Amino acid sequence: MDNDELKKHREDVLRRHREQCKKCKEVPPHKWKLCEVGRILSCIGNKVTFKYPEGDRTGILVDRMVIESANEDGAVPYWDVVDLMEFEKEKEKWLRIGYYRKPKKSLVFGGQTSITETISIWKKILVNTAREKKWFRDILVDVMKELK
C-alpha cells in the first residue's frame, strides 16, 4: 500500500469507528476527541519495528482490528488487537495478535511477546491446530457459521 492509500484507509477506518462508537457520538464535534478504541485504531499507518537477535525489522501497520476484552468493573481495561503489517524487503504480509491495557490514564501496548508471523505461517498454525484439536476446529466451524 502506498502512503496515500494508507492514509485514506486510516481515515476510512476512523470515520466508520466514529459513526458506530457511542462514546465518540457523545462528544460535541468541536471538542471531538478519540475514545480508547479510536486511539488504538489511529496507529494504522504508523511505523512498526521489531528487534531480533538476527537483526531489526521495520515496517508499517497496514490495518488493525480492535476488540474490547471482557473487562470487569473496577479492573484495568484491556483491548485485544489483530494487526496486519508490511515489512521492508518482505514479499508476504505479517500478522500479529496483541493487546493494549490502560492501567491509569494512558494506553500501553502489551504485545511485545506476542506471536508475529507471516500469513502463510499463521495459516499453517491454524490448519495444523484445527486438524489435531477438535476443540479448535469447533471454534473455526462456529466462526464460519456466523459469517454465513
In 3D space, the residue among 43, 79, 85, 83 whose CA is nearest the CA of residue 64 turns out to be: 83
pLDDT band at 29 (very low <50, low <70, confident <90, very high): low
Matching residue, cell 484439536: 133
Confidence (pLDDT) at 124? 95
pLDDT band at 30 (very low <50, low <70, confident <90, very high): low
Domain ranges for the chain: 3-114, 119-148
- pLDDT digit string (tens) for 73-132? 888 999 999 999 999 888 999 999 989 999 988 999 987 677 888 999 999 999 999 999
Query: Using an 8 Å Cβ cutoff, are 35 and 23 in contact?
Result: yes
Helix (H) or strand (E) holding 20: helix 3-20
Alpha carbon separation from 14 to 22, 70, 88, 117, 125 (Å, rounded): 14, 23, 25, 26, 31
pTM attached to this predicted model:
0.82
- pLDDT digit string (tens) for 33-72? 788 999 999 999 999 988 888 888 899 999 999 998 877 8
> What residue type is 10 in one-letter code?
R
DSSP string, 23-42: HHHHS-GGG----HHHHHHT
Beta bridge partners of 84: 63, 95
Sign of dihedral through CA atoms 23, 5, 92, 138? positive
